[in-house]
Each structure stands twice: as structure tokens, then as C-alpha cells.
A and B are shown apart, each in its own frame.
Chain A
Amino acid sequence: GIQVEQSPPDLILQEGANSTLRCNFSDSVNNLQWFHQNPWGQLINLFYIPSGTKQNGRLSATTVATERYSLLYISSSQTTDSGVYFCAVEIRQAGTALIFGKGTTLSVSS
């Protein structure tokens, strides 16, 4: 099956710093989503981005589908950004599930 690799596994930042999270995937995908899992376990959908670039406030994401990777940028990080960030992909077959990477655990300190 498709492999989804995220890096780095852990990231520690000072408040105000910028960061880039990476997601590599091993096959063509129909869908790619970035999530933030909060301390209570809720998955918050950040971006639906099978290709191209999107921005939402301090967050932006870019997916280069032909090279099979996606990047999540967090600028001016805040303590509330702490948590686990997951990349998840759906293979090129309609109706299939998202396959998750192992996540990046981000800790932002003040």
C-alpha cells in the first residue's frame, strides 16, 4: 500500500518562530489533507490540498503532486499551535479512506 512519511517527528519552537513540516508519499494521490489534532483528540482539518498552494492566516500548504510531497508552513508560531500535525492521503481510487502519516509533534513554548 501507499506509504506516507512525515518529518520531522518532533519539533520544538520558541513562540514567534517559523516552521516547515514535510509529507512524502509513495504513489499518486487523489486527495491530501493536513490535520491538527488537539489535546482532546479532535482532528481539525487544516487544508484539503491535493495540489497547488493554499493559505489560511499564519498557515499555508503546498503540494507538488508530480514529486509526491507536501509542505505545511507555520509562521509566527503560537503556543496554541502545539499538538500533532498529520498528513493523510487518499489513493487514486474514488471512495477510499485517508491513510495517515505518523505525524509531527510540535511544541511551542513562550
Chain B
Amino acid sequence: GAVVSQHPSWVICKSGTSVKIECRSLDFQATTMFWYRQFPKQSLMLMATSNEGSKATYEQGVEKDKFLINHASLTLSTLTVTSAHPEDSSFYICSARKATGSSGANVLTFGAGSRLTVL
């Protein structure tokens, strides 16, 4: 099956610091990965689409300079929250799609999420 690993699961940082979250597809190549954000008791909101080897596409209202996304390989995408502030505290979840044409390419697989707390 398709497995997506996300690291770290939990992170606490001081206001003003930067935090990097990794999303890895363990047993498949992912040309496209997606980053979501979820506030308590709310739904998942799409932040950006990450395509291997190109710039990420951000959803309206998401600051690209605040949330830096890098998709340097077919198995790894990273989200860096720069100069984090308490309002950035949230649950961040990534998902990955297999390369087009491969078996199961229509099904998105999700990581376990990363809970960020900014003090």
C-alpha cells in the first residue's frame, strides 16, 4: 500500500523561530503533494500544492513567504513555517498522490499530521 510519513509529530517552538515539517512517501513516488492546515474542531483547509521540481501553488490567503514549501525529490516535500507566531499554532497534514498512470494514482494518502505549538 501507499504510506506517507510525516515528521515531526509534535513540535513546540518559541515565537520568532522557524520550524520545518517533512512529508515523505515511503513506498511510492509522489509527483504531487498537498499541504493542509486544521484548526481545532474544524475541517482541513488546503494551503498549497507542491509539485516536484517546481514552485508550489498557494491557495488564496496563504502567505507564501510565511509557509515555504520545497518539493526537491519525488519522495520528499517540506513545509517551513518561518518566524512562527502563536497564531500559526495548528495541525498541519500532508498528502501525496502517486505518479499519474500508476496503480492507485487517484487515491490521496495522508500523513499522520504535525501538531505545531508556538509559545
What's the A-B contact tally at a CB cutoff of 8 Å? 55
- Which chain A residues lie closer than 8 Å to B100 at the CB level? 94-95
- Which single member of B34, B97, B109 contacts A45 (CB below 8 Å)? B109
> C-beta contact mask, A84-110 vs B, less than 8 Å → 1, else 0?
001010100011111111110000000
The docked-state distance in angstroms from the alpha carbon of A33 to that of B45 is 16
Q: Decide if A42 touches B106 in the complex (CB within 8 Å).
A: no
- Which chain A residues lie closer than 8 Å to B19 at the CB level? none
| A51 within 8 A of partner (CB) | no
The docked-state distance in angstroms from the alpha carbon of A80 to that of B112 is 18
The docked-state distance in angstroms from the alpha carbon of A90 to that of B93 is 17
Q: Decide if A97 touches B49 in the complex (CB within 8 Å).
A: yes
Q: Decide if A31 touches B44 in the complex (CB within 8 Å).
A: no
The docked-state distance in angstroms from the alpha carbon of A30 to that of B95 is 17
The docked-state distance in angstroms from the alpha carbon of A90 to that of B95 is 13
User: Which residues on A are within 8 Å of B, measured CB to CB?
Assistant: 30-31, 33, 35, 40-43, 45, 48, 50, 86, 88, 90, 94-103
